[in-house]
Amino acid sequence: DAGVTQSPTHLIKTRGQHVTLRCSPISGHKSVSWYQQVLGQGPQFIFQYYEKEERGRGNFPDRFSARQFPNYSSELNVNALLLGDSALYLCASSLELAGSYEQYFGPGTRLTVT
């Protein structure tokens, strides 16, 4: 089975632009979470979606938004990009059945804002 996939792998944007990152979860997984990892730090939680509903949100500004589609794939949108948004953006999916809540991560999207 394929793991979590993310696209694009890398991208470069300019300050003030908008970006959309995409994630496809492992087949059968209904929960998708997004994390931001700045260089030298551990991943920081941004959003979690389950069955197309937002279930949790981290301490990120309203410039960050996300959604989950009927096929459980997800998009993370960031508006008005700042230099500080440069990071590795990670998507993780989870089966969400009793006894199986571990999250499986994709390879990430490396965003550089110039």
Partner 1 sequence: DAKTTQPPSMDCAEGRAANLPCNHSTISGNEYVYWYRQIHSQGPQYIIHGLKNNETNEMASLIITEDRKSSTLILPHATLRDTAVYYCIVRGGGIGGFQKLVFGTGTRLLVSP
**Site for partner 1 (CB under 8 A): which residue of 26, 32, 90, 113?**
90
114 CB neighbour count, 10 Å cutoff: 10
Nearest-angstrom CA–CA distance, 5 and 8: 9
Residue 82 amino acid letter = L
Q: Beta 44-50 vs 19-24: how paired, if at all?
A: unpaired
User: Between residues 18 and 60, which has the closer beta carbon with respect to partner 1?
Assistant: 60
Which residues are within 8 A (CB) of 102 and not within 5 positions of it... i.e. 6 or more apart? 94
Minimal distance, residue 82 CB to partner 1, in Å: 22
Q: Cβ 15 to partner 1, closest distance in Å?
A: 24
Give residue for tokens 């993370």: 76
- For every residue of 50-67, DSSP letters joined together read ETTEEEEE-S--TTEEEE
Contacts (CB under 8 A) with partner 1, residues 42-81: 42-45, 48, 55-56, 58
**Between 8 and 16, CB nearer to partner 1:** 8
Asked whether position 9 contacts partner 1 by CB under 8 A, the answer is no
Stretch touching partner 1 by CB under 8 A, among 11-19, 61-69, 71-79, 98-106: 98-106
Instruction: Enumerate binding residues for partner 1 (CB under 8 A).
Output: 4, 33, 35, 41-45, 48, 55-56, 58, 88, 90, 92, 96, 98, 101-108
